Chains A and B, each alone.
Chain A
């Protein structure tokens, strides 16, 4: 494992603190710089370990931002996870709280109403875009693209038309994927 000193931890915390306010759209948007810091500069993790950290957080239940905790854990155990999570969340959380209160107080003003009304179609566009970007690798693969298309279509249909919990779809996905059809 790495020999992480106290000042290393502080540096890790500070770096993630700085990235927090830049992370418009989520912590994942600042991954390139996290990679540069952790893998290229300090050699605390290999490429493979870095990528695996992100993948496991995405697979596990919960917000994908938890990849930050996994990175911290892999670098320096529990203290590392604490450093990266606290750094990632403190600034953006403080800003969000302040912003939402500021906005809520003024929510009847023309400016705030224009803000929310104007952004609405962008928000939905981003959501659909995210879905497409997530689906793309599966649909463009040489093998199993039809299996992937079928599974994704099924997920969309079931989620839109029925009341079944998405958990069932996840289970189906795991089984079908485990069988090698995706």
Chain B
């Protein structure tokens, strides 16, 4: 295991300026084919060491519970933490501005290529890779559960039930959060002082 890749809380770096924040988020958004989350974890935690794995999962948790796109909420939260409101906007702009211009440009061009089998095949390939990246990110972050106050076995139990409820039974997310989430929070509460 590459333990050197996991920054400890006191070894963390941070963006020096809002511009750096904006550029960093633009760069990572533009690498996010099929979804930004895996790239965000790789860049923010492993390469730039702006967040620990735990902090990343924490922010992701809050982002998922709140309405709105997870990665957008996460960018907002991190940017706000760095520079307040202006930081939040810098991160948000990075995440959305250039990618939006690009996707709208592609939309203008797309009509001509929509039926081309090579293009649809390439998009299928990209989609398959994207799914693998998301799975890998989830697996990588599992180590954060070791330090959870509920203990690893209980965490794995909650995680497994979540996977079954959402991927298999397709229970709406709101119910998973209000039901299972409330139970998990209660368990965590009882384990804390």
**A interface residues, Cβ below 8 angstroms from B:** 20-27, 29, 52-53, 55-66, 69-70, 73-74, 81, 85, 89, 91-93, 95-97, 99-101, 103-104, 110-111, 113-135, 138, 148, 151-157, 159-160, 163, 165-167, 169-170, 172-182
Interface of A is mostly: helix
Q: Does B176 contact A (CB under 8 A)?
A: yes
Evaluate contact between A96 and B73: CB separation under 8 angstroms: yes
Complex CA–CA separation, A115 to B186 (angstroms): 8
Chain B residues positioned under 8 Å from A131 (CB to CB): 131-138
A56: min CB distance to chain B, Å: 5
Evaluate contact between A65 and B159: CB separation under 8 angstroms: no
Chain A residues positioned under 8 Å from B42 (CB to CB): 159, 165-166
| Given known A-B contacts A70-B107, A122-B176, A179-B121, A95 and B137 have beta carbons under 8 A apart | no
Q: Does B65 contact A (CB under 8 A)?
A: yes
* B-side interface residues, number (CB < 8 Å): 106
Q: Does B60 contact A (CB under 8 A)?
A: yes
Chain B residues positioned under 8 Å from A85 (CB to CB): 96, 100
Give B150-186 as 1s and 0s: 1 = Cβ < 8 Å from A's Cβ atoms.
1000111111111100110000111011001100111
Interface of B is mostly: helix
Complex CA–CA separation, A121 to B125 (angstroms): 30
Evaluate contact between B68 and A63: CB separation under 8 angstroms: no
| Given known A-B contacts A70-B103, A93-B76, A122-B180, A61 and B67 have beta carbons under 8 A apart | no
Which residue in B31, B144, B162 is a CB contact (below 8 Å) of A126? B162
Chain A residues positioned under 8 Å from B31 (CB to CB): 61, 165-167
Evaluate contact between B67 and A128: CB separation under 8 angstroms: no
Chain A residues positioned under 8 Å from B130 (CB to CB): 58, 134, 170
Which 3 pairs, one residue from A and one from B, show the smallest C-beta to C-beta distance? A177-B125, A62-B99, A155-B132
25 cross-chain CB contacts under 8 A: A24-B173, A62-B36, A64-B35, A65-B72, A93-B76, A96-B76, A100-B77, A114-B188, A118-B189, A119-B64, A121-B155, A121-B158, A126-B162, A129-B162, A131-B133, A138-B128, A152-B128, A155-B129, A155-B132, A157-B136, A173-B126, A174-B122, A174-B126, A175-B122, A177-B121
Chain B residues positioned under 8 Å from A103 (CB to CB): 62
Chain A residues positioned under 8 Å from B19 (CB to CB): none
